[in-house]
Amino acid sequence: MSTLALAVLGRGLVDPTEPVLRADDLALLRGQAAFETTRVYAGKPFRLDDHLARLSISAARMDLPKPDEEAFRELVMGAIELKAIEDASLRLVWTPGSSEGGGSVGFALFGAIPPGHEPLRTRGMNVITLPLGVPYELRAKAPWILGGVKSTSYAANMAAIAEAERHGADDAIFLAEDEVVLEGPKTNVWWRRGQTLFTPSLETGILAGITREFVLEAAPGLGYEVEQGVYRRSELATAEEAFTSSSVRELMPVVLLDGSPIGDGRAGPAAAALQLALRRTASEG
């Protein structure tokens, strides 16, 4: 990621190459921080309040102090104005600080949007499924597994993407026991049969994606019904189209699953219509 700006709670804008954490911050030692990623469109962060609310939920799930959402909002909006930021990815991080009482650190990191997204949206992604080997009920109900929490302990998620790339794929989709479809390492998963969109329900312990929420709201207006549930891999594999949703990559078609085409193997109409609707909503602020 090419960094555009860095702003720290209590300090404001700082040189992005400057260190902002102590070496004994538990964020670093234990991967115990909460984070959020959203996208800035024409100077407006998409659904910032929803991301801040989810940051607080993640912090609570990890027993971190509650972040000051208003202070974060001011930090973000101030940085966007001072640096004249137009289009960017925006990562918010909230750490517990040191176990010796160093205090929490909150920062907002703005980065350039990676250039590869638009060609990938045209081509569609090649995705592999990867088993997690746990029942989906456990992911949602065992608080120590941190299902649905955006913590900085994403090393396993990044290892899954690296595994996908070793297989010549672009991304991965996690499966719970019995091939129950969960989510990608950084995305929610969708597929379509006729005019119905399907997506795993939150009871599978997936992250309540903000883009997922947008799709749930926008789909009926575009002529699609949505069903949420507990679905097996075979239902995704035999769909007419599939796509992922996430804040920075937005709606991204999936055209190959474990080497076999989904539908006609091309990017589908629902992903395209939702992508247009997302951009329209984002530009309205």
Of positions 98, 129, 245, 275, contacts ligand PLP by CB under 6 A: 245
55 binds ligand PLP (CB under 6 A): no
CB within 8 Å of 134: residues ≥ 6 apart: 145, 176, 177
Q: What sign does the dihedral 192-256-170-184 (CA atoms) show? A: positive
Question: Looking at 134-142, 161-169, 219-227, 239-247, which segment touches ligand PLP (CB under 6 A)?
Answer: 239-247
Q: Which is nearer to ligand PLP, 154 or 235 (CB)?
A: 154
Contacts of 83 (CB under 8 A, 6+ apart): 4, 5, 13, 110
Q: Does 147 bind ligand PLP (CB under 6 A)?
A: no
Distance of alpha carbon 99 from alpha carbon 110, whole angstroms = 28
Cβ pair 117, 1 in contact under 8 A: no
Q: How far is the CB of 24 from ligand PLP (least distance, A)?
A: 26
Q: Which is nearer to ligand PLP, 80 or 92 (CB)?
A: 92
205 is a contact residue toward ligand PLP (CB under 6 A): no
Quick check: 246 binds ligand PLP (CB under 6 A)?
yes
Part in contact with ligand PLP (CB under 6 A); list of ranges 60-68, 112-120, 221-229, 243-251: 243-251
Helices (H) and strands (E) in the chain, counts: 9, 15
* H or E element in which residue 79 lies: helix 69-82
- Of residues 187 and 204, the one with the C-beta less far from ligand PLP: 187
Find out whether 129 and 257 touch, Cβ atoms under 8 Å: yes
Determine, following the binding rule CB under 6 A, whether residue 212 of this chain makes contact with ligand PLP: yes
- Interaction between residue 58 and ligand PLP (CB under 6 A): no
Site string for ligand PLP, 149-168 (x = CB under 6 A): -x------------------
Q: Which of 247, 236, 119 is nearest to 187 (CA)?
A: 247
Q: Is 188 in the site for ligand PLP (CB under 6 A)?
A: yes
Binding residues with ligand PLP: total (CB under 6 A): 14
Q: Is 211 in the site for ligand PLP (CB under 6 A)?
A: yes
Choice from 183, 219, 251, 256 touching ligand PLP (CB under 6 A): 183
The full length of the chain comes to 285
The two three-digit tokens of residue 89, written as one number? 């990815």
Vertex 104: Cα angle to 87 and 202 (nearest 5): 65
- Positions touching ligand PLP (CB under 6 A) are 37, 150, 183, 186-188, 207, 209-212, 245-247
